[in-house]
Amino acid sequence: KQLSADSVLQLKLFSALSADLLSTNRSSVFSGHHGQLSLTAVFLDEYRDRLFLGGKDVIYSLLLGPTTSESKEIYWPPLPGNREDCIQTGKEPQMECANFVRLLQPYNRTHVLACGTGAFQPMCAFINVGHRGEHVFTMDPTNVENGRGKVPHDPSLPFASTFNGGELYTGLTADFLGRDSVIFRSMGGRSTMRTETDQKLLHDPKFIAAHLIPDNDDRDNDKVYFFFTEKATEAGDREGAIHTRVGRVCANDVGGQRVLVNKWSTFIKARLVCSVPGPHGIDTHFNQLGEMHANLLHLHTHLPPLINVFQGFAVCVYRMADIREAFNGPFAHKEGPDYQWGVYEGRVPYPRPGVCPSKITNQPGREFGSTKDFPDSVLQFARNHPLMWRPVYPALRQPVLVKANIPYKLKQIVVDRVEAEDGQYDVMFIGTDVGTVLKVIALHSGNSLETEEVTLEELQIFKVPTPITSMDISVKRQALYVGSPAGVAQVKLHRCETYGNACAECCLARDPYCAWDGSLCARYLPNSKRRFRRQDIRHGNPMLQCMDQKLSEELDVTEHRMAYATENNSTFLECVPRSPQATLTWLVQRDDRKDEVKLDDRMMSTDQGLLIRHVVRQDEGLYICRSREHGFTQTLARLTLEVLQGETVDELMARDNPGLAWMPCNAYSRASTSSQSRTWFKDIMQLIGPSKLPHVEEYCERMWCNDKLRRKHKSMLEKYRQAQESARKARSKSSVERNRMPRDLRAREE
Ligand SMILES: *[C@@H]1O[C@H](CO)[C@@H](O)[C@H](O)[C@H]1NC(C)=O
Ligand SMILES: *[C@@H]1O[C@H](CO)[C@@H](O)[C@H](O)[C@H]1NC(C)=O
Ligand SMILES: *[C@@H]1O[C@H](CO)[C@@H](O)[C@H](O)[C@H]1NC(C)=O
Ligand SMILES: *[C@@H]1O[C@H](CO)[C@@H](O)[C@H](O)[C@H]1NC(C)=O
**What whole-number distance in Å separates Cα of residue 210 and Cα of residue 456?**
30
SS3 category, 418: strand
Residue 417 in any domain: the answer is no
pTM above threshold 0.85: no
Q: What is the CATH number of the domain that holds 323?
A: 2.130.10.10
Helix orientation angle between 675-688 and 707-733, rounded to the nearest 10 degrees: 90
241 and 110 within one domain: no
**What whole-number distance in Å separates Cα of residue 292 and Cα of residue 658?**
50
Residue 325 in any domain: the answer is yes
Helix orientation angle between 675-688 and 2-23, rounded to the nearest 10 degrees: 170
Q: Which domain holds residue 706?
A: 647-728
Is the CB–ligand 4 distance for residue 732 below 6 Å?
Answer: no
194 and 86 within one domain: no
Are 13 and 460 a contacting pair, CB within 8 Å? Answer: yes
Q: Whose CA is nearest to atom 14 of ligand 2?
A: 108
Domain limit, last residue, from 402, 421, 452: 402
Please provide the size of the chain in residues: 750
**What whole-number distance in Å separates Cα of residue 440 and Cα of residue 531?**
28
279 and 211 within one domain: yes
Q: Distance between alpha carbon 342 and the CA centroid of its chain, in Å?
A: 39
Are 147 and 118 a contacting pair, CB within 8 Å? Answer: yes
In one-letter notation, the amino acid at residue 489 is A
Q: Which ligand is nearest to the CA of 20?
A: 1
Pick from 126, 131, 136 the residue to mutate for probing ligand 2's pocket: most ligand atoms within 8 Å of its CB: 126
Is the CB–ligand 4 distance for residue 706 below 6 Å?
Answer: no
Residue 278 in any domain: the answer is yes
Are 344 and 389 a contacting pair, CB within 8 Å? Answer: yes
Residue 584 in any domain: the answer is yes
Q: Which residues contact 582 (CB under 8 A, 6 or more apart)?
A: 508, 627, 628, 629
Atom in ligand 1 nearest the alpha carbon of residue 67:
5
Beta-strand relationship, 145-146 and 138-139: unpaired
Measured CA distances, 569 to 254, 611, 615, 616, 646 (Å): 71, 11, 5, 8, 12
Q: Whose CA is nearest to atom 1 of ligand 3?
A: 569
**What whole-number distance in Å separates Cα of residue 277 and Cα of residue 396?**
11
Q: Dihedrals φ, ψ of 340, to 5°? A: -85, 160
Distance 604 CA to ligand 3 centre (A): 19
Distance 588 CA to ligand 3 centre (A): 25
Cis before 351? omega within 30: yes
Q: Whose CA is nearest to atom 6 of ligand 4?
A: 568
Residue 426 in any domain: the answer is no
pLDDT in tens, 129-181: 999 889 999 998 788 999 999 999 999 999 999 999 899 999 999 999 989 99
Measured CA distances, 139 to 122, 129, 579 (Å): 17, 9, 48
Residue 501 in any domain: the answer is no
Is the CB–ligand 3 distance for residue 648 below 6 Å?
Answer: yes
Q: Whose CA is nearest to atom 9 of ligand 3?
A: 648
User: Where does ligand 1 bind, in terms of residues with CB under 6 Å?
Assistant: 24-25, 67
Helix orientation angle between 693-704 and 675-688, rounded to the nearest 10 degrees: 130
Is the CB–ligand 3 distance for residue 377 below 6 Å?
Answer: no
363 and 263 within one domain: yes
Pick the closest to residue 492 from 64, 14, 38, 133 (CA basis).
64
Atom in ligand 3 nearest the alpha carbon of residue 688:
5
397 and 283 within one domain: yes
Please measure the distance between the N-terminal and C-terminal CA atoms of the chain and give it in whole angstroms: 32
Q: Return the DSSP state at 392.
A: B
How many domains are there within the chain? 4
Distance 25 CA to ligand 1 centre (A): 6
609 and 717 within one domain: no
Is the CB–ligand 4 distance for residue 645 below 6 Å?
Answer: yes
Q: Where are the alpha helices (DSSP H) in 235-375?
A: 320-328
Is the CB–ligand 3 distance for residue 688 below 6 Å?
Answer: yes
Domain limit, last residue, from 600, 615, 646: 646
217 and 336 within one domain: yes
**What whole-number distance in Å separates Cα of residue 745 and Cα of residue 356?**
80
**What whole-number distance in Å separates Cα of residue 736 and Cα of residue 725?**
18
324 and 199 within one domain: yes
**What whole-number distance in Å separates Cα of residue 171 and Cα of residue 159?**
6
Identify the segments of the chain with pLDDT beneath 50: 1-19, 287-312, 550-555, 648-649, 652-710, 712-713, 716-717, 720, 730-750
653 and 623 within one domain: no
187 and 251 within one domain: yes
Distance 408 CA to ligand 3 centre (A): 29
719 and 588 within one domain: no
**What whole-number distance in Å separates Cα of residue 690 and Cα of residue 684?**
10
Pick from 648, 688, 696 the residue to mutate for probing ligand 3's pocket: most ligand atoms within 8 Å of its CB: 648
pLDDT at 282: 55
Residue 573 in any domain: the answer is yes
Q: Which ligand is nearest to the CA of 644?
A: 4
Distance 593 CA to ligand 4 centre (A): 27
Consecutive H or E run containing 681: helix 675-688
Q: Which ligand is nearest to the CA of 67?
A: 1
Q: Whose CA is nearest to atom 5 of ligand 4?
A: 568
Q: What is the DSSP string of 148-205?
A: BTTB-SSTTS--EEEEETTEEEEEEE-STTS--EEEEEESSSSPPEE--S-TTT-SS-
Distance 703 CA to ligand 3 centre (A): 22
209 and 123 within one domain: no
Pick from 21, 22, 25, 672 the residue to mutate for probing ligand 1's pocket: most ligand atoms within 8 Å of its CB: 25
Q: Whose CA is nearest to atom 10 of ligand 1?
A: 25
Domain limit, last residue, from 402, 418, 433: 402
Radius of gyration (Cα) for the chain, nearest Å? 30
Distance 295 CA to ligand 1 centre (A): 35
Distance 616 CA to ligand 4 centre (A): 9
Residue 503 in any domain: the answer is no
**What whole-number distance in Å separates Cα of residue 165 and Cα of residue 633?**
58
Pick from 566, 567, 571 the residue to mutate for probing ligand 4's pocket: most ligand atoms within 8 Å of its CB: 567
Distance 2 CA to ligand 3 centre (A): 20
SS3 category, 700: helix
Q: What is the CATH number of the domain that holds 592?
A: 2.60.40.10
Distance 318 CA to ligand 4 centre (A): 60
Is the CB–ligand 3 distance for residue 693 below 6 Å?
Answer: no
